[in-house]
Structure 1
Amino acid sequence: MNSTAFDFLRPVALLILTPHCFDNYFVKFDFFDGPCFSATLSKCLGLGIILGSVLVKLPQIIKIYKSKSGEGISMLSVTLDLAAITIYASYSFLKQFPFSAWGDAAFLGLQTVVVAILVLHYGGSTLNAISYLVTYLFITLVLISGLTPINIMWTLQGCNIFIVVSGKLTQAYSNLKNGHTGQLSAVTLIMLFLGSLARIFTSIQETGDKIVILTYIASTLANGVLVGQLAYYWNVVPRKEKTQ
């Protein structure tokens, strides 16, 4: 490889590879370095998850918008989910974790806010939807501005395991009580399940933070419950749709 091509390749490759791994692959031609393989795989997975997260809740948003209804979607579950996402993103931002380890949370947070606003709006409460948005933006600003001490952020992140599980199981209980999954999007649920599963590996590789790792393990299990319900209630039609 000539020097011009090498000089061009290096800064691009370093977006994914560490300097050590770059030298291993492109200088020493050592393609069997285990730690480098794990680190590179983690980085690629992380970036892939971030790209996927840009659209992960779009099917859910479209489904609510088209039906003009948030039937079957628990606002408590959405709010707990949003709280967990925001706490994790804020904690990771303040801890200066690599963006590839948490960037998806930023996009998921934005989309979850949209879901909440649509559910409130189509539930007949536009004013509540606006208040919800303003309150969320204010809380997020407080969390990421540095005004919140890092020890409090650590405690909040520790609570995230409970928040994540509570949010998912609240939705699961709502599904069980209703006897269907309502306007929940199958694509969104499956993508969330796969994303949280992959995040266990990337969190181990890129953060080493036990609280974060345990949170994603809990999230994967809870998402698995919802995916299981999705399969179980697949052919069940909500009453409102039956009467139309």
Structure 2
Amino acid sequence: MAMAMRTMNSAPGARGRGSPGFARSTKPMVKSRRSSAVTAASASGVAETLAHVVGVCVVTGACVRSLPQILRIHKSRSAKGLSLGSFTWESIGLTLVLAYNVSREYPLSTYAECIALVIQDVIVACQIFYFRHGFAKSATPFALSAVGGVAMCATLFWWLPAQPFGAQALLSLNAVAGLIVNGSRLPQIVMNLKRGNTGELSWVTQALNVCGSIARIFTTLTLTQDILNLALQVTGLLLNGTLLAQCYRTIQMRRSGELVDDDVDAVVEEPKLA
């Protein structure tokens, strides 16, 4: 019996897990698995690093996003074809996003673009009102808007976070903010359709918006995988792409002589948001 057991244990196909042969046979498999895990982790690390770099580029681009639009209005001394509602609603939505991120104490790099975009939106909105109505008629609306802006910021950044329900309220407002920012594109799109052209709307600014949307889709997929944010970014890309296409169409019309700048000053009533 003992001889039979020794014979069976010494057979080539009967080596146990503790035998040297088994250990040698499993080493390549273990190394392969470890190598695959290291490769996957390395690829994931590269993707995350790239996403952070893209995020910094988005913030940098946001600092100059509306600069072409501001300079175009200043140079032409006209705000023809620009929707005041679009810039106003976007600034409100971005302020809500900013308040939420500040309350959560997120890194500044994750939302810094909102600060730059709000400032630029306010400048463009002031330009639109000034060049349409003149300084005399703009002074009172400017003052009221300033008071309203200060009151809104005081509520969002100081009063609301101190309340017991503040965190939940800001979370809800942040969800609504994405819809407001995307919805702010609609008045401009509708105005362009009614006019048949984009007037003084800067195609460079719209191109930067498209690039920013694509970049944010990438960073969302890589860093957070947040379905709601991804849906909002995709929707934003479609709307920004529509505006860019409208700008391209206007450029083609001007080149062909179908549209003359002096003819684009028709007064079109802005669409109102319900």
Under a length normalisation based on structure 1, what TM-score does the superposition of the two structures give? 0.79
How many Å separate the matches in 1 of 2:186 and 2:130? Answer: 24
Whole-Å Cα distance in 2 between the matches of residues 58 and 199 of structure 1? 20
**1:154-233 superposed matches below 5 A:** 154-233=171-250
Matching of residues 43-192 of structure 1 within 5 Å? 43-124=52-133, 125-127=137-139, 128-145=141-158, 147-148=160-161, 149-192=166-209
Superposed displacement of residue 239, structure 1: 6.3
CA RMSD of aligned residues (A): 2.5
Q: Which runs of 5+ in 2 are unaligned?
A: 1-38, 266-274
Contact 2:220 2:229 in 1 (8 A): yes
CA contact (8 A) 1:121 1:129 kept: no
The normalised TM-score by structure 2 is 0.71
Identity, in percent, stands at 27
Query: What whole-Å deviation, never above 9, does each CA across 1:72-107 have from its counterpart, x for those lacking one?
Result: 111111112112222222222222333222211110
Evaluate the alpha carbon distance shift between residue 139 and residue 204 of structure 1 in structure 2; reply closer, same or farther with a 3 A threshold. farther
Residue 206 of structure 1: how far off its partner (Å): 4.2
In structure 1, list runs of 5 or more residues that go unmatched: 1-29
Structure of higher CA gyration radius: 2
What's the CA shift string for 1:15-63, capped at 9, x where partnerless? xxxxxxxxxxxxxxx9970221111111101111111111110110111
Q: How many pairs align?
A: 216
Change (3 A) 1:210 1:31: closer
1:63–1:183 Cα contact (<8 Å) kept: yes
Moved more, 204-213 or 33-42: 204-213
Amino acid in the other structure paired with 2:156: L
1:170: how far off? 1.4
- Separation in structure 1 between the aligned mates of residue 142 and residue 260 of structure 2, nearest angstrom: 26
